[in-house]
A and B are shown apart, each in its own frame.
Chain A
Amino acid sequence: MSLATLSLSEVQSGFRSGAFSPVEYLEALEARIAALEPTVGAFLSRDLAPARAAAQAADVHLPLGGIPVGIKDAISVRGETCSCASKVLAGYRAPYDATVIARLRAAGAIPFGRLNMDELAMGSSTENSAWHPTRNPWDVTRIPGGSSGGSAASVAAREIPVALGSDTGGSIRQPAALCGCVGVKPSYGRVSRYGLGAFASSLDQIGPLARSVRDCAAVLNVIAGHDPRDSTSLDLEPEDFLAGLGRDDLKGVRLGKPKEYFIDGMDARVRNAVEAAIRRCEELGAEIVEISLPHTEYAVSTYYILSTAEASANLARLDGIRYGHRAQNPANLLDLYERTRAEGFGNEVKRRIILGTHVLSSGYYDAYYLRAQKVRTLIRRDFEAAFASVDAIVCPTSPEAALRLGERGQDLLKTYLADIFTIAANLAGICGLSVPCGFIEEGSVRLPVGLQFLGRALDEAKLLRIADTYERAEAWSSQAPPLETP
């Protein structure tokens, strides 16, 4: 058996007992990556030499000593390319480490590889990458979800033990669900975004993807914390997210089941898997409470106004002047801007910038942007009211399992509506995670289904504890996709 398939804690025990070294582990991962990448395509690039040097020097007694961590292409690692899977940043190399990278290094981890994503984090299939699509390890004719599709696919394929993603409207949780791994979106303000390519600054959070809740908690322990360089990061007492894990029952836990998250349009097989998981939580001692989040139906509209508006402002910096792509032989400055951005951005990014510019433009601001901000308040209040009576909310992560590449076609509205179960958490700033809860059968293949837990803002410790108990009561997380390796 390859070292690559060991769990994070098994790897750490192996390092500490001297059974194998970080260099041997890294090389086992690299061998598996080299074998699988022609099929999966989770990585945009990776640089083995500096990773090996870091592995050689690793202090295995640090919290993540010698552990390679895959990095979404939106997060800056000094000296490495950081294209956000966009042509507009082709060849750009980050001149500094993101705060999460500095924290990982300080904990002994080794940032390794650039993981594919939808261009500038816009999309939920990783088909919008300017470079190549990533394939779902459970069925390589299918999408891994997105936008952190490379992170989820690499973790599910056992190419990397843990990865970082970013989540603006579900971009960690939805690919985790579709690839059968665990993904955590921390509360707004929990993790610094300094060094993350900004999409929608009032919604973006960085978080971990891994093969278990425990492994995600270990990474969250390292990346969480106040950073003076991100004014939205909160100055909180450090917490140990591993400390409360390991409980075998959910006695005394009240879980809210929102009626708006079990809808007609969803795949009935996904719904059945989620309902079964909720019954399992009940068997474990949880009390299931029917709740209502009445403004759920407005979440998608609210999200696509606010996120595109913010994106249109954030992406104004990609103008071809200081870094990134620049159009050749510009006639004048305006021509330089317009052609640089026409050549650099893909269709989905252009559409969203135009939508965002429109909703912010004179005469429409109050009707769209301001109204959406007010509806956002109502969505936030829905959650506050729910959390007054429950410890966490339990629901599906995605209304469907992984589609085939290209299956959605050009139906944008349908694509956007599929984000329905994940985006409200970003609008409300609360924490959420997805954990595997079974499979649906699609011909001869099995496709993973994700169970989502949502917790009140800054209540990650409780959320992780609940998910850990559910996860260990079942064996879904430990199942590996049917990939052939030589």
Chain B
Amino acid sequence: MSDSVLDVESVARLARIALTPEETRAFADQIGRILEHIELLRRVDVSAVEPTAHANPVFNVLREDVPVEGLERDSALALAPRQAHHLIMVPKVVE
């Protein structure tokens, strides 16, 4: 972890968040200090330890393949910031 270099600008791009130069600088400093603290975990010997993804051993939760009522189309569409003709409107994605 000590070779960890936090490049806030490129990570923000991955996270789809536009940052101002001031935010980029401030976050680099603030998150950098959190990462320094996280270095603590290097001290733990985890060589023979299995990871825990979540607390309960529940696997492959399936249900019968039968249709059930879902959200009504109009009430879902009504939430969209822009919609027309029963469709959600987005900027053109194909040139």
Contacts and interface: CB of A to CB of B under 8 A. Distances in A.
A171 interface: no
Contacts, number: 173
B92 to A, nearest CB: 8
Given A336-B90, A373-B53, A410-B30, A357 B44 contact: no
Interface in B41-57: 41, 44, 46, 49-56
Interface string B31-45: 101110110110010
Chain B binding surface, main DSSP class: loop
A375 B56 contact: no
Interface residues of A, number: 76
Interface stretch (A110-118, A275-283, A296-304, A436-444): A296-304
A188 B53 CA distance: 12
Interface residues on B, range: 35 or more
A173 interface: no
A408 interface: no
A372 B40 CA distance: 11
Interface string A344-362: 0101001101110110010
Nearest to A349: B17
Contacts of A66: none
Interface string B67-90: 000011001101111100000101
A475 interface: no
Contacts of A345: 17
A96 interface: yes
A413 B34 contact: yes
Interface string B1-40: 1001010100111111111000100010011011101101
Interface of B: 1, 4, 6, 8, 11-19, 23, 27, 30-31, 33-35, 37-38, 40-41, 44, 46, 49-56, 58, 61, 63, 71-72, 75-76, 78-82, 88, 90-93
7 contacts: A232-B58, A350-B23, A354-B27, A373-B51, A374-B50, A374-B52, A427-B55
